[in-house]
């Protein structure tokens, strides 16, 4: 009797182990690593994976560069952003102080933008928000990052960092959320 059930039992355990290993391999996703080639600005970085080069823009935020180039932004807001960068020249290329050329970074793609993990679990978007060099996109609705980005932007406001250091850019920022 045991001779009859033993091959079937072994076959069952083999199938079970194959099924369980395939089930766990679906959830074990390897991170995508890219090499940072160039930092153009806080808004744009050039990276590569193998021979494939691409540009990366921070996910879910509008940086000061993007606000400056925004077609709906009026000239007074553009002048205020220019004045801000004249007053703080080191912040114009802030991302170059935290990112390092030829270093590998974990990235995730979200549409045209990407999530670049700059400091461990902190993403570049969150860091720019904390420094007041970006604002959360008005229609941003991502369950995973919405709370983190709102919290980072509120920290910049309360610490009066970056564009929140005085009220000169507040009207420009408020006009984004009214649209």
At residue 136 the predicted structure's pLDDT band, cuts being 50, 70 and 90, is: very high
Residue 151 main-chain phi, psi, to 5 deg: -65, -45
Taking the domains of the chain in order of start, what are their residue ranges? Answer: 32-178
Confidence (pLDDT) at 128: 96
Q: What is the mean pLDDT of the chain?
A: 83
Residue 105 main-chain phi, psi, to 5 deg: -130, 145
At residue 77 the predicted structure's pLDDT band, cuts being 50, 70 and 90, is: confident
Which SS3 state, helix, strand or coil, does residue 109 take?
strand
Architecture of domain 32-178: Beta Barrel (2.40)
| Residue 94 contacts residue 42 (beta carbons within 8 Å) | yes
Compute the distance between CA of residue 148 and CA of residue 154 in angstroms, rounded to an integer.
10
For residue 79, give every residue at least 6 positions away whose Cβ sits within 8 Å of its Cβ, in sequence order, or none: none
DSSP string, 61-80: EEEHHHHHH-TTS-HHHHHH
Name the nearest CA neighbour of 117 among 10, 34, 15. Answer: 34
Mean pLDDT, range 93-105, rounded to an integer:
94
Residue 76 confidence (pLDDT) above 60: yes
For residue 174, give every residue at least 6 positions away whose Cβ sits within 8 Å of its Cβ, in sequence order, or none: none
Helix (H) / strand (E) containing 156: helix 146-158
Confidence (pLDDT) at 83: 87
The pTM score is: 0.79
Confidence (pLDDT) at 25: 47
Confidence (pLDDT) at 162: 87
Confidence (pLDDT) at 163: 85
Residue 53 confidence (pLDDT) above 60: yes
CA distances from 4 to 11, 24, 35 (A): 12, 32, 57
Mean pLDDT, range 138-166, rounded to an integer:
89
């Amino acid at each position: 009797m045991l001779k009859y059930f033993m091959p079937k039992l072994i076959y069952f355990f083999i199938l079970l182990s194959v099924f369980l290993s395939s089930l766990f391999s679906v959830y074990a996703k390897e991170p995508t690593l890219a090499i940072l080639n160039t930092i153009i600005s806080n808004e744009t970085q050039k990276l590569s994976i193998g021979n494939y080069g691409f540009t990366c823009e921070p996910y879910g935020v509008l940086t000061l560069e993007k606000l400056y180039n925004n077609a709906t932004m009026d000239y007074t807001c553009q002048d205020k952003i220019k004045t801000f960068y004249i007053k703080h020249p080191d912040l114009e290329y802030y991302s170059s102080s935290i990112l390092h050329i030829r270093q590998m970074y974990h990235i995730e793609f979200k549409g045209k933008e990407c999530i670049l993990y700059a400091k461990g679990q902190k993403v570049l978007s969150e860091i720019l928000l904390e420094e007041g060099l970006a604002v959360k996109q008005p229609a941003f609705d991502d369950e995973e990052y919405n709370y983190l980005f709102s919290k980072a932007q509120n920290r910049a406001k309360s610490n009066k960092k970056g564009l929140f250091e005085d009220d000169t850019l507040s009207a420009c920022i408020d006009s984004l959320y009214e649209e």
